[in-house]
Amino acid sequence: MKIFVNEVDNLLTESLSGFAAAHRDLVSLNLDPHFVTRANKAKNKVALISGGGSGHEPLHTGFVGHGMLDAACPGHVFTSPTPDQMMAAAEAVECGRGVLFIVKNYAGDVMNFEMAGEMIVCDHATVLTSDDVAVENSTYTTGRRGVAGTVIVEKVVGSLAETGADLAHCKALGERVNQRTASMGVALTSCTVPAAGRPTFDIGENELEMGVGIHGEPGRRREPMRPADEIVKDLVTAILHDLQPVEGSEVLLMINGFGATPLMQLYMLYHSASKQLAAHGFKVERSLVGNYTTALDMAGASVTVCVLDEEIKRHWDSPVHTAALRWGM
């Protein structure tokens, strides 16, 4: 595996520094501990803070800015950030209306945000995202993973928070969007954690991993390669089985690349998934196609469907200005 690197231990800091310099009109970077905030602190709103392991860029730093997050806390590659980061970020961005943490449902992220919550003094609440349908939910497990649908939660709740809505309202909408959103991914190759230097999993030239997670964790099963429409059919079927939307529902369709799959491929998947959703009687009213929740250099993609309603649609459409999403302003 070839990657651009000076010292592997400096990779994250160098990348964050580059990100902050490239987007200095939007964000500022704190190095000790690591967190990214908006360049101009917002006033009189609930402060939205997310965070998670690095390697999923642009998640979450790329979504800091007007209409989305107030701060993001990047951990080491595929490793959740630590409570001191969340505490320092909260202190930097909280402006009297409380803090909402948006946390992907992984044991590490949940525990670190939980410990930060126990130590901060301001009002705070948490929305856990768990849109990945590849892993069945069960009272005996950690539960479903939070994946690309997290971007939709951050966008919609981010918009609501800009209106001055209170903490309870922001949390409730975040949970509603999460419940109405489902994702599933497929990997064609493994990813390689730079510090480990070896692929996370072995996969044959003619195999795919159905239901893969965004850290290269295994999904439902290993299968031989098949035509794209058939792969998409399995993803869409699993998602619809989970969401059970009413026929005729309006949906947002997101095709998310995992890092090493070209946009040309992602649009081809969008073509396939949107046709299939239409055939099931759903109206694809909004779309997002690109690399938004990546897994380093993994080849593959995920399909996310969010069942819209008027409020969610309005907040999806509202102006946003971040490094990775910008429209309406």
Partner 1 sequence: MKTETILQAVDAVCDAITEHEAEIESLDRALGDGDHYINVRRGVTTIAGMREELAPLAADVALQRIGMKLLSTIGGASGPLFASFFLAMAKRLKETETADIAALAAAFADGVDAVKQRGKSDVGEKTMLDVLIPVAQTFRQQAEAGAAMPQLLEAIKTSAEQGMLSTRDMLATKGRAAFLGERAIGHVDAGAKSAQVMIAAVCDFLAGRP
Position 170, amino acid? C
Question: Which residues, 6+ apart, have CB-to-CB distance to 243 below 8 Å?
Answer: 180, 182, 305, 307
- Residue 203 tokens read as 């996969």
Q: Which is nearer to partner 1, 46 or 214 (CB)?
A: 214
The site map against partner 1 for 35-54 (x = CB under 8 A) is: ------------------x-
Position 2, amino acid? K
Cα–Cα distance, 108 to 75 (Å, whole number): 11
Nearest residue to 324 (alpha-carbon basis) of 37, 11, 55, 65:
65
Segment contacting partner 1 by CB under 8 A, of 89-97, 136-144, 244-252, 318-326: 136-144
Distance (Å) of CA 129 to CA 79, 248, 254: 17, 25, 16
Q: Which is nearer to partner 1, 77 or 173 (CB)?
A: 77
Q: Which is nearer to partner 1, 106 or 258 (CB)?
A: 106
Cα–Cα distance, 170 to 108 (Å, whole number): 24
Distance (Å) of CA 231 to CA 7, 278, 317: 39, 17, 30
- Residue 236 tokens read as 């869409």
Binder of partner 1 out of 37, 50, 105, 112 (CB under 8 A): 112
What stretches of 75-191 show up as alpha helix (H) in DSSP?
83-93, 107-119, 149-162, 167-179
Write the DSSP assignment of 231-254 as a string of letters: HHHHHHHHHHHHH-PPTT-EEEEE
Binder of partner 1 out of 31, 111, 263, 278 (CB under 8 A): 111
Binder of partner 1 out of 39, 92, 95, 115 (CB under 8 A): 115
140 part of the interface to partner 1, by CB under 8 A: yes
Q: Which is nearer to partner 1, 23 or 145 (CB)?
A: 145
Applying CB under 8 A, what is the total number of residues that bind partner 1? Answer: 38
79 part of the interface to partner 1, by CB under 8 A: yes
Segment contacting partner 1 by CB under 8 A, of 102-110, 120-128, 162-170, 259-267: 102-110
Tell me how far, at minimum, the Cβ of 118 lies from partner 1, in Å.
10
| Residues in the chain, total | 329
Contact 290, 263 (CB under 8 A): yes
Q: Which is nearer to partner 1, 85 or 318 (CB)?
A: 85
Looking only at residues 160 through 219 of this chain, which bind partner 1 when binding is defined by CB under 8 A? 193, 195-196, 198, 200-201, 213, 215-219
Tell me how far, at minimum, the Cβ of 202 lies from partner 1, in Å.
9
- Tell me, yes or no, if 76 is annotated catalytic: no
Exactly one of 56, 66, 124, 315 is catalytic; name it.
Answer: 56
Contact 252, 285 (CB under 8 A): yes
- Tell me, yes or no, if 215 is annotated catalytic: yes
Catalytic residue list: 56, 215
Task: Enumerate binding residues for partner 1 (CB under 8 A).
Answer: 33, 53, 75-84, 106-108, 111-112, 114-115, 134-135, 138, 140-142, 145, 193, 195-196, 198, 200-201, 213, 215-219
